[in-house]
Chain A
Amino acid sequence: MSHPAKSAASRGPREWSPEQAAEITKILARYPTKKAAVMPLLWMAQDAWDWIDLDIMRLIGRTLELPPSHVHAVASFYTMFKKAPTNKYFFQVCHTLSCALVGSDRILAHLEERLELDENGDSKDGLFSVLRVECLASCGSGPMAQVNEHFYERLTPEIIDEVIAALRSGQQLPEPRREADQWIFPVS
């Protein structure tokens, strides 16, 4: 997904907080080289600052004694490192074969209609982003989506509606509830 307008925005130079610095010391102890910590640090930065901009890449480069271009190459290779912001609730809907066989298209069409998505997949109300993604290893309980960190399975248009309504009314994203072999939204 690209947000040309948004990704151009720089948020200014960054520094690690003391907590982050302590965490980095622990991470470095796990590997024989500093370079190996580049993905863990990218994750840490994304958790703290939502997406990875050039200033963050420079910071990681300095921390690990790597050229920023290397950090950039790694960040670009992996799709989960966000190079632009997404909205608060990020639906990554699987559309690979097994999910397609059981109706992922229906879920995507429903999201598109309900959320009035623009060409970047961002909703009109600024609360949701939707992205089509490839297989998330949840093929037996499709259609499914990863919403922020959690997997939600056996989705139906009705479940989607309830969740959108709940989130729009300011409720927190519910943790999935495990039922038999699936993780479902805890809505009735």
Chain B
Amino acid sequence: MDFPRILSGNWDVPDSHLLSVAKSRGVYSQLPRALAMAPAEITQIVKDSGLRGRGGAGFPTGMKWSFVPPAEKRQGKSVYLLCNADESEPGTFKDRYCLWLDPHLLFEGMAIASRALDCHVGYIYLRGEFRYIARRMEAALAEAYAAGLLGKNILGSGHDFDLYLHVGAGAYICGEETALISSLEGEKGQPKLKPPFPAVEGAWRSPTIVNNVETLAVVPWLIQHGAAAYKAIGTEKSPGTKLFSVSGHVQRPGVYEIPMGIPMTQFINEYAGGLLPGRTLKAVIPGGSSVPVMTPAEVELCSMDYESISTHAGSYLGSGGFIVMDDTTDLVAALTNLLRFYAHESCGQCTPCREGCGWMHQILCRVRDGEASEVDLGTLRDLADNIHSKTICFFGASAAMPVQSFLTKFRGEFLDRVQRRGAGAA
């Protein structure tokens, strides 16, 4: 299949993180063009391209940008651009590659976005565990500043854009955009109720755009090739290429850039190298640990795009964190593992989330260990149903969806575990 490698094109190039190498690969070639454009023209290209945010929700990027109030309605407030490089959703590890192997592409994307947004200060929020990446990126930033590609009066255009790194310190919830903003402001990383949406009132109560690393890194390509070229790749509702990070029981786990819309079986068998010899597929989580699990029958039906996964599997493409489980997997243990994660990471503000995640985890431990009854499965289901959409942020739903989907789609495996207890006790 012939398609451009928009995001991963420089990953194989030695020292691709150095400015000289990046420039020789065409990074920053679009910045002068974009700086010569009217801001609205840039936003229009992004809108027309149909680019959808790669952080998980798939929200149209151009539309998000257009929510920033125009200068005359901002009462002199600045606009902030935040790059979400918190990447903590289990199964997701694509942004780490972008940050490590092509930081300048991200800087160029952010500089172009800043022009579109009339923004002069941006931050890249990196998860704390990425400090080793932050050191490399600090050096890359210094190179970009020295070359006049960031900072005051970029390339003589009159546009100023200062870009800084902000390093987190170990809290999954800081990936949620309002929590990320709290954390940047020097608070505990706790989400806030929306509205107001960050685009209207975000960091320091100013209009703020939060975008994922991958989303921003696509922007230079859009300027170079135009919206129509992007739309020509992928499907109607999921244009372009996407980075998928695949982990679990496949022969070649890793990060793959593919055009949206290829059959899921093709992705597993050709890109990820297929299952291990002699194994069969049991379950797939397609979009990071928070989305509903899929059965092998659903995998057969689906292609790698937003609409297919939601239509045929009731799940989401999410962050593109693709977790493959073969027939050796104990799905009860797998779900228990995930709920330990959610119980550990709940920020604690909402009672249903704080108490519910811990409770669901405890029940699951008992199911796993053969100490629960069918009644406990009912309680588990009720808990999940009562957390979903009753919390400040989407984390609650993120913990509930795996429980609901595992219990529905793999009910037999759970029943087996609680009934064996009855058999053993008899």
Residues of A within 8 A of B (CB): 30, 32-33, 35-40, 42-43, 64, 66, 73-74, 77-81, 92, 95-98, 100-102, 133-142, 146, 149-151, 181
Minimum CB–CB distance from A148 to chain B (whole Å) comes to 9
Query: Please, which residue of chain B has its CB at the minimum distance from the CB of A181?
Result: B254
9 A-B pairs with CB atoms under 8 Å apart are A30-B162, A43-B167, A77-B171, A79-B170, A81-B170, A96-B289, A101-B247, A139-B91, A140-B254
The answer to whether B186 and A134 have CB atoms under 8 Å apart is no
Give the residue of B127, B131, B329 whose beta carbon is less than 8 angstroms from that of A137.
B127
Q: How far is the CA of A116 from the CA of B293 in the complex (A)?
A: 38
Give the residue of A32, A39, A146, A181 whose beta carbon is less than 8 angstroms from that of B169.
A39
| 8 Å CB interface, B91-128 against A | 91-93, 95-96, 127-128
Number of A-B contacts (CB under 8 A): 140
| 8 Å CB interface, B281-305 against A | 289
Minimum CB–CB distance from B107 to chain A (whole Å) comes to 16
Query: Please, which residue of chain A has its CB at the minimum distance from the CB of B135?
Result: A149
Minimum CB–CB distance from B402 to chain A (whole Å) comes to 10
Q: Please, which residues of chain B bring their CB within 8 A of the CB of A79?
A: 169-171
The answer to whether A78 and B88 have CB atoms under 8 Å apart is no
Q: 1/0 contact trace for B126-170 toward A, CB 8 Å?
A: 011111100000000000000000000000000000101011111
Known: A64-B186, A141-B253. 8 other contacts (CB 8 A): A40-B166, A77-B189, A96-B337, A97-B90, A98-B248, A102-B248, A135-B91, A149-B131
Q: How far is the CA of A146 from the CA of B87 in the complex (A)?
A: 16
The answer to whether B93 and A36 have CB atoms under 8 Å apart is no
Q: How far is the CA of A146 from the CA of B96 in the complex (A)?
A: 14
The answer to whether B93 and A139 have CB atoms under 8 Å apart is yes
Q: Please, which residues of chain B bring their CB within 8 A of the CB of A32?
A: 78, 204
The answer to whether A140 and B93 have CB atoms under 8 Å apart is yes
Interface: B184 (CB within 8 A): yes
The answer to whether A80 and B255 have CB atoms under 8 Å apart is no
Residues of B within 8 A of A (CB): 78, 87-93, 95-96, 127-132, 162, 164, 166-172, 183-190, 204, 245-249, 253-255, 289, 321, 323, 325, 329, 333-334, 337-338, 341, 344-345
Give the residue of B96, B129, B253 whose beta carbon is less than 8 angstroms from that of A80.
B129
Query: Please, which residue of chain A has its CB at the minimum distance from the CB of B344?
Result: A134
The answer to whether A39 and B91 have CB atoms under 8 Å apart is no
Q: Please, which residues of chain B bring their CB within 8 A of the CB of A146?
A: 129
Query: Please, which residue of chain B has its CB at the minimum distance from the CB of A37?
Result: B186
The answer to whether A101 and B204 have CB atoms under 8 Å apart is no
